Amino acid sequence: VNRSRAALVLGLALGALESARTMIRMYPAAATGHALEGAALLALGRRDEARAALGRALSADWEEGSEQQRRAAASLHEALGRP
């Protein structure tokens, strides 16, 4: 999680995407990996894929105390609109 977030902050979207996808392979039901995947895809300009990843995040299991992250994912998903 921290690696993917750090990569995003540093503008390393491909590294963030790789880290997010590793998280998803390890914990497919967890929302955080999908949300970070969506953010990385958005940073890469891949809006449709980002929308889909954020949709998966919103349908997945969020850890306790991650309400702010869930709201951020929901806001991004809404801002990307419908396909």
pLDDT (tens digit per residue) in 20-62: 999 999 999 989 999 999 999 999 999 999 999 999 999 988 8
pLDDT digits (tens, 9 = 90+) for 2-19: 788 888 888 889 999 999
Separation between Cα atoms, residue 34 and residue 55, nearest integer Å:
8
Phi-psi label, residue 22: left if phi above 0, alpha if psi -120 to 50, beta otherwise: alpha
**Interior angle at CA 37, CA 31 and CA 19, nearest 5:** 100
Question: Residue 61 is encoded by which pair of tokens?
Answer: 């299991």
| pLDDT number for residue 1 | 62
pLDDT digits (tens, 9 = 90+) for 64-75: 778 888 888 999
Q: Is the dihedral of CA 30, 60, 35, 37 positive or negative?
A: positive
